[in-house]
Amino acid sequence: MFALIGLSIVVFVAVLVLYRAVSSRVNLRATLGSGEEITLQLPPGFEANVFAAGLDNPRFIAFGPDGLLYAAERGQNRIVAMPDSDGNGQADEVQVFADGLDQPHSLVFHDGAWYVGVPSGVIRLKDSDGDGRAENREILVDDYPTSGAHRTRTVEFLPDGRMVVSIGSSCNVCLEEDPRQAAVVVYDGPQATGEGIFASGLRNAVGLAIHPESGELWATNNGRDFMGDDLPPETVYIVSEGVDYGWPGCHSGDIVDPEYGSPTACQDVGQPVVQMQAHSAPLGLAFYEGDTFPDEYRGDLFIAFHGSWNRSVPTGYKVVRLPLQGSQPAGPVEDFAVGWLDEETGETGGRPVGLAVGPEGALYVSDDKGGFIYRITYNN
């Protein structure tokens, strides 16, 4: 268990008050309109503050080439930018970059434009005149199936310039009619031509990220429900082209599905980098490429656990760290930021979704329940 030191932030509606607390814990109290409070706990030396508040279901976040943090604000069907012009660690305002979108979930900047994942496909946004608004909008893909259980679409670009999009399954467990579901789809480039299947058998690979050294595609994957509190484990994969990762017959690389499996279901399927607590709902992931965290954090993987919805004892609702040596785990998954879940009552004050490392080395975390963006820094 960590020994912890303290920092507190009290958020009253949109007013942020920052002060140091004399405590053995790192406390961040976000008081919402309902009076709900959150206490976050971090390892020694780390501090947290609310970077932005009042967002409506913010999902994935990313920094643009202008140094601004952008978010897919799904509840308002828009992409927003959050400048911090004075560098005080709090957004000056929330600026609308593009609106009128349909439930945007992910965003990635590539070759002068933003690529946004929506349930039906991919949209390209470009601010050609530099006024902070995307006046150019192009629908690249608009034929993804939108019915069923998993409607988020995550867009990423491979080092060779090809575009990949993760599409979740339509169900908990079933045989899909559309091969693009429970898969990662690939295109020849940013024009979204030459559609194909990059990898299959991934039930709901919500998070995608490129390893900064190897160029490998990494993904979080959400396992099936209703196999008990601890099965199947949640997973992170290095996603390789042409590989089947097992769903629906095999889960987490070694667990045969009781309905759709067979004695050979787990033979020759892709294996995870790591297995994690079932029903944690891993979403966003980010490799730490900054230079302000301690040396032992460099190159490690952070993962946002959105949290369980049907486990008898709730789990998740936190950010975890996977120590890495290159592309291999150098230790077990460990808690990094916890406290959105009250383990005594089971009540939750927030649900982590997206992660991004800022140009100044801070780790940013979006919370789609509380409507916050948190900023985590290290102060030795």
CB-CB contact of 203 with 195 (8 Å): no
Kindly state whether residue 2 falls inside one of the protein's structural domains: no
Kindly state whether residue 44 falls inside one of the protein's structural domains: no
Residue with tokens 């879940």: 341
pLDDT given for residue 36 in this prediction: 57
Tokens coding 329: 């785990």
Kindly state whether residue 18 falls inside one of the protein's structural domains: no
pLDDT given for residue 162 in this prediction: 99
User: How many structural domains comprise the chain?
Assistant: 1
Kindly state whether residue 117 falls inside one of the protein's structural domains: yes
Kindly state whether residue 34 falls inside one of the protein's structural domains: no
Q: How far apart are CA 244 and CA 95, in angstroms?
A: 41
State the DSSP string of 191-246. T--S-EEEEE--S----EEE-TTT--EEEEEPPPSSS-TT-SPEEEEEE-TT-B--
CB-CB contact of 32 with 19 (8 Å): no
Instruction: Report CA dihedral (265, 270, 274, 278) to the nearest 10 degrees.
Output: -40
pLDDT given for residue 31 in this prediction: 47
pLDDT given for residue 37 in this prediction: 65
pLDDT given for residue 158 in this prediction: 99
Tell me which residue range forms the domain holding 252: 51-375
Kindly state whether residue 154 falls inside one of the protein's structural domains: yes
Question: Domain holding 90: CATH number?
Answer: 2.120.10.30
Around 214, how many Cα atoms within 13 Å sit in the side-chain half-sphere?
15
Kindly state whether residue 288 falls inside one of the protein's structural domains: yes
pLDDT given for residue 27 in this prediction: 53
pLDDT given for residue 11 in this prediction: 36
pLDDT given for residue 22 in this prediction: 27
Kindly state whether residue 380 falls inside one of the protein's structural domains: no
In order along its 380 residues, the chain shows pLDDT tens digits of 333 223 333 333 232 322 233 222 455 555 444 555 678 999 999 999 999 999 999 999 999 999 999 999 999 999 999 999 999 999 999 999 999 999 999 999 999 999 999 999 999 999 999 999 999 999 999 999 999 999 999 999 999 999 999 999 999 999 999 999 999 999 999 999 999 999 999 999 999 999 999 999 999 999 999 999 999 999 999 999 999 999 999 999 999 999 999 999 999 999 999 999 999 999 999 999 999 999 999 999 999 999 999 999 999 999 999 999 999 999 999 999 999 999 999 999 999 999 999 999 999 999 999 999 999 999 97
